[in-house]
A = this chain, B = another copy of it.
């Protein structure tokens, strides 16, 4: 059953793109959230994306007290962040309040931690939030749609420069950057941008069945800490279904054709 919003700009900031939200019941994947016709999350495989955004950076930064999520209104990344006791505060800034509202209603096991007292939820423009923030966050996670429409600015070099300035002096960020089969140029560009701005630039991947090609890339920019230098024996086992301390390093070892994109 379709539980959607009619196409059209219901966004408070009047995005020019014909932004559209759909929530669809499916047999194979449970409830699925689409934005602009692109799969955002499904009940069956959401854990992969949400775990793989949150845990690699939070297990790298030794003291991630203050965390920002840009986008991510479904709450899945927040749920994973809340598994880290060191996080004192997580701020979620999503441009679209409807994503939050629909997720709480139809994806409760994903959105459940949005009401955690350690979480602050803001319906606001993530790009502008970054621009206004200086030397504030330990970790920033960019959980955006693909680089069309409202999310396009979140893949620009200027945005990564803003993130650099919004981070504390030992801060780090991670962003989802699509797939290497159809968006190789994007991954190459983001890698170049991050390398020019941050001393540490890394990429890792995960298998996500409902995303194009099933292979998803995440890119990290870090001022100090190297996710590949982490002693995984120091990582506690948490309740997860995809990420494990064992998988931490393995996920940074990329297939040859992906390795070549981020040299």
Q: Identify the A interface with B (CB < 8 A).
A: 28, 44-45, 48, 181-182, 205-209, 213-215, 240-244, 246-247, 249-251, 253-257, 259
Contact = CB atoms under 8 A, between A and B. Distances in A.
Give the residue among A241, A244, A246, A253 with the most B Cβ atoms within 10 A: A253
Contact of A242 (B206, B242, B244, B256): B256
A214 B180 CA distance: 13
Contacts of A243: 255-256
A257 B181 CA distance: 25
B253 A247 contact: yes
**Closest 10 pairs between A and B when the two form their complex, measured CB to CB:** A214-B214, A250-B253, A250-B250, A209-B213, A207-B215, A242-B255, A241-B257, A244-B256, A241-B256, A181-B209
A130 to B, nearest CB: 31
Contacts of A255: 48, 206-207, 241-244, 247
A208 B48 CA distance: 17
Contacts of A44: 181
Give the residue among A181, A241, A246 with the most B Cβ atoms within 10 A: A181
Say how many copies of this protein the assembly contains.
2
Give the residue among A45, A182, A242 with the most B Cβ atoms within 10 A: A242
Contacts of A181: 44-45, 209
Contacts of A182: 28
Contacts of A247: 253-256
6 contacts: A48-B255, A240-B256, A242-B255, A243-B256, A247-B256, A250-B253
A259 B241 contact: no
A215 B241 CA distance: 15
A230 to B, nearest CB: 15
A127 to B, nearest CB: 31
Contacts of A213: 207, 209, 214
A107 to B, nearest CB: 19
Contacts of A242: 255-257
Contacts of A207: 205, 207, 213-215, 255
A206 B205 CA distance: 11
B253 A246 contact: yes
Given A209-B214, A240-B256, 7 more contacts: A206-B255, A207-B214, A209-B213, A213-B214, A241-B256, A244-B255, A250-B251
A242 B208 CA distance: 18
